Chains A and B, each alone.
Chain A
Amino acid sequence: MLKLTCPYCGIEADETELHGGGEAHLERAAGGAGDSELEQYLFIRSNPRGVHFERWHHIHGCGKWFHAARCTETMEVFGTYSAQTLRPPENTLSEIKRRRPNWVNA
């Protein structure tokens, strides 16, 4: 069972309490975007085997959306953080680099 700590209410929630929201930090295609930008935003995914930033919804809890950094190969969680950010916070990035020295943020 995957467990993630909601950064808003502080609860360590089982995945049954959460709803997955897919890849995080996607750049939203703006109003005048062309087909290719919309395709990127809506469908194209990095889908890495390794470090993955993703959105989660604490749906059966406080109701907030948050972000998590997780390894899709080992299921390790590097950290969870606020959804009010365009990129992962420094402490999460350094935790990832500590455990994955060769990792490059694509």
Chain B
Amino acid sequence: MKPRQKYSAFALVREAMRGHTGWPRAWNSPLPSKRYDVIVIGAGGHGLATAYYLGKNHQIRNVAVLEKGWLGGGNTGRNTTIIRSNYLQDASAAIYEKSRSLYEELSQQLNYNVMFSPRGVMMLAQTHHEARGYQRINNANIVQGVATEYISPEQVRELCPIISISGPRYPVLGALWQARGGTARHDAVAWGYARACSEMGMHIIEQCEVTSVRTEGGRVVGVETGKGSIECGKLAIVVAGHSGVVAERAGFRLPIESVALQALVSEPIKPCLDVVVMANTVHGYISQSDKGELVIGGGADQYNNYSQRGSFLHIEETVRALVETFPIISRLQMLRQWGGIVDMTGDRSPILSRTPVEGVYINCGWGTGGFKAIPGSGWAMAELVANDQPGALAASFGLERFREGRFIDESVAAGVAH
């Protein structure tokens, strides 16, 4: 493979002059080696970020990322890309804010444009209960040092003129507003991390499903894959919706259930919405992409599902709610709709943890809201894998919290967790 080419305005001009024939592949696709110091299962954002920070922060570079499908083809490539950090609990605020702040400079860090767009995220309060919940989060965020504010309906209208403030069913009573929240390009986040990992000499191996985990005396020694058996010193399982399946292959069970979450996009229209709006009471959230499409997300299904297709009724529910909140979109046609399998924990908080198998670590449970967490999660996971113990960011998110009753309850504030 050719050495990495730095992406720049100059490179763009040079390539324009020669018909764009000189761009090297963004990452290499080697055959697996016999052994790696660390194997990461899952080339979604979290797996790739874990590998990246292992190399960057801990100088562990003999690393492979194994992906059963294609890179970024899981939830990372299916999500609605909302990024915010105004969560309620201290542990959440810490890791999500770390993540949000890493997003601010990620394009420069990776030399890859992830199109982070801090356009502001607004969570509408449409019941009194919700209004009080958001005021409580706002108070917690002040103490935690997370910049957010509770705004009035008039401020909501100013920021987003197309909202119908007065209802009829659920009038807007206020909103939790994070001005430095926003969106990023989902694929670019995965691709940017993959390119940087590849540059450090790591192996990213697609079409390579891990089918079993080999242990000796309670310690991991390797994995069986569709491309043969591979040895490893440590193993990081970062497979979101498939966490239960892979954990079973490693011999333990998780406090996780996998359900479908759906999203859809409309035909492109002229710019009409330059913030992200979330309406959690009615299960709908919306933003406008650079192409002009309205990107819409809905609620999760109520039953376990691995089919990557959700229930039609949730689409209907979401669209109904959004048409009421944004009357001007009522005649838009929808272009496509899809689903991803999200990994839900009982307290709606993630798991970054050691496991019953020595040398095996797991990062999962991000559920409906982990895109925003990719950089921070990768950072914290790399620390956990490298040191065999969690740093400050991951410390509260261990598996033992379910046994010990130390939940990080984020389910109280919002029906959906984005």
Contacts and interface: CB of A to CB of B under 8 A. Distances in A.
Contact of A49 (B253, B254, B255, B306): B306
A60 B163 CA distance: 33
Given A22-B257, A39-B402, A72 B312 contact: no
B255 A15 contact: no
B258 A73 contact: no
Nearest to A36: B403
Contacts of B304: 23, 47, 52, 54, 72
By DSSP majority rule, is chain B's interface helix, strand, loop, or mixed? mixed
A47 B313 contact: no
Contacts of A47: 244-245, 253-254, 256-258, 304
A2 B311 contact: yes
Nearest to A70: B303
A35 interface: yes
A15 B248 CA distance: 29
A44 B248 CA distance: 12
Interface in A2-16: 2, 15-16
Interface string A52-90: 101000000000000000101111000000000000000
A75 B307 contact: yes
Given A15-B313, A22-B257, A43-B255, A49 B245 contact: yes
Interface residues of A, number: 27
A40 B258 CA distance: 17
Most chain B C-beta atoms within 10 Å of own C-beta, residue among A20, A36, A39, A54: A39
B303 A2 contact: yes
B346 interface: yes
B242 interface: yes
Contact of A1 (B254, B305, B312): B312
A93 interface: no
Nearest to A45: B257
A22 B301 CA distance: 12
A16 B258 contact: no
A84 B143 CA distance: 50
B346 A42 contact: yes
B404 interface: yes
A45 to B, nearest CB: 5
Given A2-B303, A54-B303, A45 B254 contact: yes
Given A39-B403, A49-B245, A44 B253 contact: yes
3 closest cross-chain pairs (CB), A and B? A47-B244, A43-B255, A20-B302
Given A36-B403, A43-B345, A47-B253, 11 more contacts: A15-B302, A20-B303, A23-B257, A39-B255, A42-B402, A43-B255, A45-B253, A47-B304, A49-B306, A70-B303, A75-B307
